[in-house]
Each structure stands twice: as structure tokens, then as C-alpha cells.
Amino acid sequence: MKLIKLVLLIILFFIILNFYHSFTLSKVPNINVDYIQSNQQNIEYNELLVSFLPLSIGEATIVQLPTNDFYLIDTGSIESAEQLILLMNMHGITKLRGIILTNFSEEHIGGLNAVLDKYAVDFIYIPELIASEFKLPENQKFEIKMLKEDDVIKLYPNVKIVVMAPSDPLSLSPQANSLVFQLIHKNVKFLFTSDINEEIELKLIDKYQLKSEILKVSDFGSNIGSNPEFLEEVDAQVGIIFSNDPNLYKISDDVLERLNESWIDVYVLKRQGEIQILSDGDYYQVEVIKIEK
């Protein structure tokens, strides 16, 4: 009799555990259990893993180093904060080496407080020229680091960030003053353009070698950016588009056409799921972590 009771208690425990697990996952729309197992990776000493997260609204990218140090580029919107935290947990993150904020709009910093409440953070990086626009929480243990044009942040041997914008004189458009940088892993380059417009894209052409294998497409794929000349200079093989509305209304058909004409493989995260790019410094591979429809 005692054995039967014990078996029943064990069965009941697993039923409750499974219910709790399913309830927790349901807070991230359309993500299943297999998703958890897919986006946790251990990487080799010479590798870099960059994961573009499929938030409902906003941008957030995880950079994982071989030391298991993590950096977060932008924090999505406040509406997607809970989703962001769950995705970060699924990646096995327990603390952040740094957060890089590319501009002060809601879609980029809305989830910051939720992240700071959950994780210890060593550094927060913001663009120096627009630093006054960032309302960062006070009485926190993180150190604020100001970034300006041509700054270099060394994350790991053969991994660095090179800052390209903003620069003086600032644009009249707040979005155009966003932080732009290349994440460079030896011969593999990721170009993060935040929300810049064509004006800034053309300035960058005159100042930098923009060739990059992976392009984070500006301003959620809207028509303010992705100038054809700029796309030609970047000459990317992969383009990543985040979402700033549930129905993807902001994505421009003209921009999608220009990207396709440039022979760029375009990934719209809202439609396709998380995109993981694993680099060894010479080559890279793209993995799509699909979400259920």
C-alpha cells in the first residue's frame, strides 16, 4: 500500500511539474519545449555565437564568448521584457558582462529595467554624444562606459567591437544618432546599424570599410534606411530584421526587394524564429530555431 502511495505521489509530482513548465513557456508566445534545447550551446575556444532573438516588439541580440561571458545588444520593448528574460534563461545566462544600448527609443531600451532586476551586469555601454537622453537607473552596481566614433572594445582575443557612429555634427533625427558598430571575429564581421537613416548610411560609406558578412538591417526594415549604395558597400550575405509591431507593418516591400536584389539571405525573426550565427573567425553557419505557428 505504501508503495502504491509513493508511486501515485511521484506521478502527481511530475504532472504538477509538467503543468508548471508548460505554463511558464506559454508566457513566450509560440515557443515550444524543443526550442529550449535548441538554443543552449556550448561553444569551442575559437568560436563566437551571436543569437538574434525573435521578440514580439523590439531588438535584442545575445553575444556569447567561449568563456561563457555574455553581452546583450539592446533589450527590446517593455512589452517584450518577460519574453526576453525567458529567452535569456533558455540560453543559460546567469549574469551579463555587458549591455550595449544603441539608442534610447522604447524598442531598444524598454526591457532594460527587467534585465537589471534579474541579472548582475558589469558594464552598460551607451553612445557618448547622446548620453543625456538615456535615463539609466541609479544606485546600480554596473559601470557606465561612453562610446564614441572609432572606439574599440576588445571582448576576447580576436573578438572586438569597432564603433562607427554617431559623430558630430549630430543629425536632426534622433534615430539617425544611433550607435553603429561592427562586431568583428577575425574575418567574420557583423554590422549593427540600429535605426539609422540613409543620411548616416551615406556618411559611413565615405569613412569606413563596411564589408560585413552579416547585416542587422536598420529600423526594422523600414524605408528610411537600406540605401542601395550602402547595401552594395556592405555586401552582406545575411540580413536580419527585427519586429517593432506584431503585424510587421513597418517592413518595407522596397527594402525587401533591395535586399533580395543584393543577394542577401533575409531572415525576418518574427516569421522565422531565432537566428543563431556560429563563427570560428573564418567561416560561419546559420541556424534557424523555428517557432510554432
Q: And the C-alpha cell for 258?
A: 533591395
Task: Yes or no: say if 209 and 241 are a contact pair by the CB < 8 Å rule.
Answer: no
Look up residue 185 and give its three cell numbers.
571575429
Enter the pTM of the model. 0.87
> What DSSP string describes 54-72?
--SSB--EEEE-TTS-EEE
d(CA 7, CA 196): 61
User: What are phi and psi for residue 72, nearest 5 degrees?
Assistant: -120, 125
pLDDT tens across the length of the chain (293 residues): 555 555 455 555 444 444 333 333 333 444 444 544 455 568 999 999 999 999 999 999 999 999 999 999 999 999 999 999 999 999 999 999 999 999 999 999 999 999 999 999 999 999 999 999 998 988 788 999 999 999 999 999 999 999 999 998 888 888 889 999 999 999 999 999 999 999 999 999 999 999 999 999 999 999 999 999 999 999 999 999 999 876 666 788 999 999 999 999 999 999 999 999 999 999 999 999 986 65
Q: What is the pLDDT of residue 88?
A: 97
Which neighbouring-strand residues pair with 238? 214, 265
Domain layout of the chain by residue ranges: 31-289
- Give me the pLDDT at residue 82, please: 96
Cα separation of 188 and 241, whole Å?
Answer: 19
Phi, psi dihedrals of residue 215, rounded to the nearest 5°:
-115, 125
Q: In CATH, what class is 31-289?
A: alpha beta
CA-based nearest residue to 227, from 248, 251, 255, 261: 255
